[in-house]
Amino acid sequence: MKSLISSAMFSSLKYQDFRMTWISNMLSGCSYWTFSVGLSWLILHETGNSTNVGIVIFASMLPFLLVSPFAGYIADKYDRKSLAFLMYLCNSLFCFILFIFSLLNFYPLFLVISIAFILGVFRTIQEPTVSSLIPNQVPKENLLNAITLNAATRHGSRFFGLLIGTPFIGLNILNGGQFLLLFSFLFQIVSTYFIFKIKTKSVGESASDGDIFSSIFKGIKYIYTNGLIFLIILTVAFHCAFVMSYESIMPIFANEGLNDNTGKFLGYLIMMFGAGSIVGNLMLSNANNNSIKSKYFVISAFGSGIFPMMLSYAGFLNGDLVITISLSIIFLIGACQSSFMSLTTTMIQKVVPDGIRGRIMSLYLLHAGGIMAFGNLILGNMADIFGYAWLFRLTGIAFLIYILFVLSTQRRFKADIIAIL
């Protein structure tokens, strides 16, 4: 462990509180992805269409749109460690409740939607709270390393969580979805223990900013009057709308494109996305030159659009080749998309003052998660009508057009990226 921490790639892990946060985030991410895949598969299996999967995912992400501004205020007003612990604990409780309902084969759509929404509320508060803790746990020169390592494990948890959970799907004790919901609860309760262990004291400025609405307005005003922050968040919104809203499409892609009737290949797809995320972010964490980091930004942006277009043609292949090619492309999508999101998060964290960081990160999540909520709802419905292949192509092309427009017309943007990173 000491030799691992001493390497440049893992340098921020030498700080104990960040190390506890890092482990906790990885386990919480494992919980989220085993929960998401297990629930999506149960809904698809019970109802037979991806529209209902999209509705459930929409419900889980809707709080990012409705609650985010208030979540940022809360993250800046109260002790962030205590708040994070409370959110982790609440997540554990509701993961357990849904697992029990699944054992009873009692999961009517309205109940699943309600629990998905409640868990989304907890996650909406948890995300900016934990993100705002990290800059208080490591020196500024280690911040990019800490954020990329955190992102590597957060996104990589898709791989680790499903690597552990997916092999159990073939057993006859529980069905695949029930097994994944059980693992979701177990991962979440252990992650709660690690977040409890940290000692970081971190509180923002909300207490001195007057009432809640003036405090929230201060964060909104900061975003829309700071040209660079606005452009970063706008780019994240387009990225999430076009090429990161695939959760509602993946079950039908696995079912129709890979002839998956058990849920195993859906798990493998999410695992490979996570594996790509790990590799992409570890490469990024080792980058020590601003020019190299800016090149990563451009490469990851273009890869985020190109590789989904390639995936749309995988279904035309036959036999084992379709599975091999699909998993390989998903790996590259994971590497590009998670690196892109890590870089934009780092830009925000480095520029924004500590006192309003919770509010800005919550508004960042509003533009990301809120957009993905509607994206999954719309794409899930469109997948039933047009099929998954055309959606992969159209969304990939749309994001490529946007990123080409920004990089060709906003020339100062690239210079600012180099300066910040």
Residue 191's pLDDT is what? 94
Sequence-distant (6+) residues with CB within 8 A of 157 are 25, 26, 27, 28, 29, 30, 32, 33, 274
Indicate the pLDDT class of residue 199, thresholds 50, 70 and 90: confident
Cβ-contact 322, 264 below 8 angstroms: no
Residue 65's pLDDT is what? 79
Task: Give per-residue pLDDT as tens, 118-127.
Answer: 999 998 899 8
pLDDT value at 171 more than 60: no
Distance in angstroms (rounded) separating the CA atoms of residues 253 and 61: 21
Tally of structural domains, the chain? 1
Residue 119's pLDDT is what? 92
Indicate the pLDDT class of residue 307, thresholds 50, 70 and 90: very high
Four-CA torsion 158, 161, 162, 167, nearest 10 degrees: 170
Question: What Cα–Cα distance (Å) separates residue 131 from each residue in 98, 127, 235?
Answer: 27, 6, 20
Two structure tokens written together for 407: 């990089």
pLDDT value at 3 more than 60: no
CA 315 to mean position of chain CA atoms: 26
Would you say residue 204 lies in a domain? no
What's the domain range around 327?
A: 15-193+211-420
Distance in angstroms (rounded) separating the CA atoms of residues 209 and 216: 9
Residue 35: CB atoms within 10 Å: 27
Would you say residue 205 lies in a domain? no
Residue 166's pLDDT is what? 63
pLDDT value at 47 more than 90: no
67-85 average pLDDT score = 84
| Range in 126-140, 187-201, 209-223, 393-407 with the lowest mean pLDDT | 209-223
Say which CATH number the domain at 101 has.
1.20.1250.20
- Closest-CA residue to 71 (of 143, 146, 132): 132
Would you say residue 284 lies in a domain? yes
pLDDT value at 6 more than 60: no
How high is the mean pLDDT of the chain? 82
Indicate the pLDDT class of residue 170, thresholds 50, 70 and 90: low
Distance in angstroms (rounded) separating the CA atoms of residues 287 and 250: 32
Distance in angstroms (rounded) separating the CA atoms of residues 167 and 178: 13
User: Angle formed by the axes of helices 227-243 and 388-409, to 10°?
Assistant: 160
Would you say residue 242 lies in a domain? yes
More confident residue, 60 or 315: 60
For the chain, count helices (H), then strands (E): 18, 0
CA 269 to mean position of chain CA atoms: 15
Task: Give per-residue pLDDT as tens, 139-156.
Answer: 877 887 887 787 777 777
Would you say residue 5 lies in a domain? no
Range with top average pLDDT, 20-24, 229-233, 367-371, 405-409: 20-24
Task: Give per-residue pLDDT as tens, 310-326.
Answer: 998 887 777 778 888 99
- Using only the alpha carbons of the chain, give its radius of gyration: 20
337-361 average pLDDT score = 82
Would you say residue 206 lies in a domain? no
Would you say residue 187 lies in a domain? yes
pLDDT value at 410 more than 90: no
Would you say residue 381 lies in a domain? yes
Burial class (CB in 10 A: 0-12, 13-18, 19+), 408: exposed
